[in-house]
Amino acid sequence: MFKKILIANRGEIAVRIIRACKEWGIPTVAVHSDVDRESMHVRMADESVCIGSHQPANSYLNIPALMSAIELTNADAVHPGYGFLSENANFARILEENKINFIGASSKHIEMMGDKIQAKRIAKENGLPVIEGSEGGVKDISEAKELCKKIGFPVLIKASGGGGGKGMKIVYKEEEFESLFSTAKSEAQKYFGNDEVYIEKFFQNPRHIEVQILAGKNRAVHLHERDCSVQRRHQKLIEETPSPVLNDEIRKDLFERTVKMVAKIGYMGAGTVEFIYEDGKFYFLEMNTRVQVEHPVTEMVTGIDIIKEQIWIAFSGETALKQSDINPRGHAIECRINAEDASKNFQPSPGIITMCHQPSGFRTRVDGAIFQGYKVTPYYDSMVCKLICHGRNRTEAIQRMNRSLDEFVIEGITTTIPLHKKLLNHKKFINSDFNVSWLDKDSIV
């Protein structure tokens, strides 16, 4: 097994990885910025190294500083978590060249699936249905307009190298297109250093369904699906499994095609293949070559520790799991708790947590890195923790989540806990009568 793992991340995912490493008996190294010196992941790791100032570019995105930390601590493996450098092909390549194990996809597969246009082509070539749209990047405005007339409005303009809603614009009318096309290209250049965009048909009432996979040289398996349709401006708020809208026939087709594609391209590690689902049909959206924020709901229903499996695959090249080993039970829901004021257009709420009481009890889990006295800074993502509840069925999972949200006390900052209480008790959520645009169209706050 690996002798020492450096976690190239912070916050709750760094804590989550350290816990998995402790169960494997592997020493860990935490890296941190100057403002994260007293953070939970630093306290929990066996060693820690300051890699720069609070700006991500100077610390968590600073490859030379990370390589120095690896050399200083003699770590032989790196786990990137999610975000930051987790899908950075250059970082993975540098580690490969220096014989340091990257606990994630190969640089080849990160590059392959990180380009949304190439990923779409690969998915299509390997039997996954794709959304109607441009075959590649569209640079010429007249060509783009002709394509839009062909597929019909509304259309979605998306950054080729993007994600998280950046460089993404919905165009409902032809007269809006030119202005939004220009804006999308500018955003793509700003956030991803690449102004290439592509165009797809926009679905107005879709669900967002994703399939969790684990793959080694010997086989690829799926860990069933997650439904991530409760979103605000393309950012997920609540995730659950199984999806309330899929039937067994659709699931079987979805899983078989997904596993076939993943195996065909020789992918290794944990990954998630995301789909748009509408009117009984699913369409490939993208593939994330890393662990997802919402991985705990899958762990709750399958009993499989995805992080530990990632580590094992990176070490051995194989997955010990067979598809027959994966038998999900019950229903799980995750609420992302953010330091934001939902009543003020989700304004960030940094500050010191003066009181912190986390819920516990039967089939209740909190993944986080907060504690009383913890300082939430304005420099990073606003998510402070995740609350995950499991029940025998969806109704019980909702009831347990409501009970747990009532128990959760975080004072000193404003959080999205009150919003989650509203969502969990909303008729549309209870009846699963919603889609990805629900919160952008309805006034819930």
According to DSSP, the residues that pair with 210 across neighbouring strands are 226, 274
DSSP one-letter string for 208-252: EEEEEEEE-SS-EEEEEEEEEEEEETTEEEEEEES-TT--HHHHH
Taking alpha carbons only, the member of 333, 363, 331 closest to residue 242 is 331
- Which of 10, 290, 365, 394 is flagged as catalytic? 290
Q: What does the longest C-alpha to C-alpha distance in the chain come to?
A: 60
Question: Is cis: bond before 154, omega within 30 of 0?
Answer: yes
Quick one: angle between helices 116-125 and 107-114, nearest 10?
A: 90
Taking alpha carbons only, the member of 245, 227, 244 closest to residue 236 is 227
- Phi, psi (5° rounding) for residue 212? -85, 130
Taking alpha carbons only, the member of 129, 198, 131 closest to residue 161 is 198
**β-strands 5-7, 169-171 pairing:** unpaired
Beta-carbon count within 10 A of 77 CB: 22
Going across the sheet that includes 364-368, the strands are 281-288, 269-278, 207-215, 220-232, 235-241, 331-338, 383-391, 364-368
Which residues are CB-neighbours of 9 under 8 A, at least 6 positions away? 17, 41, 60, 79, 80, 81, 82, 83, 84, 86
Q: What is the distance, to the nearest Å, from the Cα of residue 382 to the centroid of all Cα atoms in its chain? A: 14
Written as one letter, the residue type at 403 is R
Beta-carbon count within 10 A of 83 CB: 21
Q: Establish whether 290 is a catalytic residue.
A: yes
Beta-carbon count within 10 A of 424 CB: 20
The Cα 123–Cα 439 span in angstroms is: 30
Quick one: angle between helices 306-316 and 11-24, nearest 10?
A: 60
- Catalytic machinery residues: 290
